[in-house]
Chains A and B, each alone.
Chain A
Amino acid sequence: MNGGHDLGGRQGLGSIAPEAEDLEPVFHSEWERRVFALTLATGMLGKWNIDESRSARERQHPAVYLQNSYYENWLEGLEKLLVEKGLLAADELLYKEVSVAGAAPELRIPDAEAVLKILQSSGSSTIECEAAPLFNIGDRVKVRKQYSSGHSRAPSYAQGAIGKVIRHNGCHLYPDKVSQGRTIGEHLYTVLFTNQSLWGKTEENAEVCIDLWQPYLSIAAKESG
């Protein structure tokens, strides 16, 4: 879905005005710390995956998404997931009524030691794919136009553009399905786009590489050409 989060190439959003690197704190206030920690800690309960949590943050009115600060969007996503996954009742979130029932018995609630282990362990999004990859390095591929209401990682600025496959990254969990709670992999490619193909301009000496899953792409010209 091309909501408020799908920002590549959007204009009118102003200047960056970065804080000086040596002066910027990791968190800008106590509530940001808490939102960050609550999001990671509840994520460790295994009730949702990273694509579901991205999707939960994205499913907001674009004006609200853009108006919110970063951790406000995290908070919004977290509250949504807690209710959608049945860990909290919507009423509890409104703080009208709190049931005293504790955590579901099948949940393992990590303590500090377990958390450290999880934070230090590496995960991987690679998975086995039965089919061989459709595209080869050097192939020219076109990003399919997409109008889906679900979560996707095909940025709208690249849709319709033609680029060149520069790397095959193996088979990775496919966000469009994983965000629906399904464990499905697709081949992942890194595709290089010229400024001309993305923006219709050549004056800036620049190009963009995007990681794109096979279903996002169709062949434009084989590598031999």
Chain B
Amino acid sequence: MPHDHDDHDHNYTQPPSDLELRVKALESLLLEKGLVKADALNTIIDTYETKIGPRNGARVVAKAWVDGDFKKALIEDAGAAVAALGYAGRQGEQLQAVENTPETHNLVVCTLCSCYPWTVLGLPPAWYKSAPYRSRAVSEPRSVMEEFGTELDPNIKIRVWDSTSELRYLVLPMQPLGTENWSEDKLSALVSRNSMIGVELARNPEDIN
């Protein structure tokens, strides 16, 4: 990160960067003026750092793999289906699940900013918000996926979803072969965050043993 001077290699204290000072000053100002409350800030951070993350989405996908009725409900109205599992809230209201098939693979991007289904995946990784991903996902998705080590058969069509509205997209990856009798819990370990964005496939059974 260009202006981030966190440096833990030295055993003396680094002076804070201009950026750190600017943020500290802004926070002090807002607290002093009573525009924000300290406990509210801590709650926001704690929620997205420890409570809401891609394990939510992995449980949704695993359930869809084992429960045909849930999968149908998820495809029809993903927002309602995941809310029924307790995953409601910010940036997940109007969720669409897009299902990978042997013919079509789905990939999600937001070329204009960083729209992402927070309720099921948490906050997006840095690369998802980066200029290289946002620019290339729509125009050269195969080379993008290759950067994640994903080689897709050229016969499989890639369908890219550019999240330009308040609709949010969750990729439903294909269930790996050889996991037909697995429990939901065990299956959820195969569902990586990246597979729910679409840059990777679900993990293979041998990858988690």
| Interfacial residues, chain A to chain B (CB-CB below 8 A) | 5-11, 13-19, 21, 24, 26-31, 33-38, 40-42, 45, 50, 54, 57, 66-70, 72, 75, 78-79, 82, 87-88, 92-93, 95, 98, 100-103, 107, 109-112, 114-116, 118-126, 153-155, 157, 169, 172-173, 188, 190, 198-199, 204-213
Contacts and interface: CB of A to CB of B under 8 A. Distances in A.
Most chain A CB neighbours (cut-off 10 Å) among B93, B141, B166: B166
A42 B1 contact: no
Nearest to A190: B167
26 contacts: A9-B139, A13-B131, A18-B127, A26-B122, A33-B49, A38-B36, A40-B44, A41-B36, A67-B2, A69-B4, A70-B126, A75-B19, A78-B26, A102-B33, A103-B33, A107-B35, A109-B37, A122-B88, A122-B89, A125-B93, A125-B165, A155-B164, A206-B157, A208-B162, A209-B160, A211-B164
B23 A35 contact: yes
Interface residues of B, number: 83
B48 interface: yes
Interface of B: 1-4, 6, 19-20, 22-27, 29-30, 32-37, 39-45, 47-49, 53, 79, 83, 88-90, 92-94, 111-114, 122-123, 125-127, 129-136, 138-142, 144, 147-148, 154-167, 192-194, 199
A155 B139 CA distance: 13
Given A122-B93, A172-B166, A57 B113 contact: yes
A102 B141 CA distance: 50
Contacts of B138: 8-9, 157, 198, 208
Contacts of A78: 26
A52 to B, nearest CB: 13
A183 B108 CA distance: 28
Most B CB atoms within 10 A — which of A45, A67, A72, A206?
A206
Contact of A188 (B45, B126, B132, B165): B165
B162 A8 contact: yes
A13 B135 contact: yes
B37 A119 contact: no
B151 to A, nearest CB: 13
Contacts of A67: 2
Nearest to A40: B44
Contact of B40 (A24, A101, A115): A115
Contacts of A95: 25, 29
Contacts of A24: 125-126
Given A103-B34, A205-B158, A38 B144 contact: no
Name the residue among A103, A199, A208 with the largest chain B CB count within 10 angstroms. Answer: A208
Contacts of A102: 33-34
B139 A30 contact: no
Closest CB pairs A-B (n = 7): A8-B111, A211-B165, A125-B166, A112-B39, A18-B127, A206-B158, A37-B41
A16 B147 contact: yes
B132 A13 contact: yes
Contact of A122 (B39, B92, B112, B136): B92
B27 to A, nearest CB: 5
Contacts of B129: 70
Given A15-B132, A16-B136, A75 B1 contact: no
Given A5-B112, A119-B90, A207-B160, A153 B165 contact: yes
Contacts of B163: 211
A180 B69 CA distance: 43
A16 B37 contact: no
Contact of A38 (B27, B113, B160): B27
Contacts of A69: 1-4
Contact of B127 (A16, A112, A211): A16
Nearest to B156: A205
A77 B169 CA distance: 25
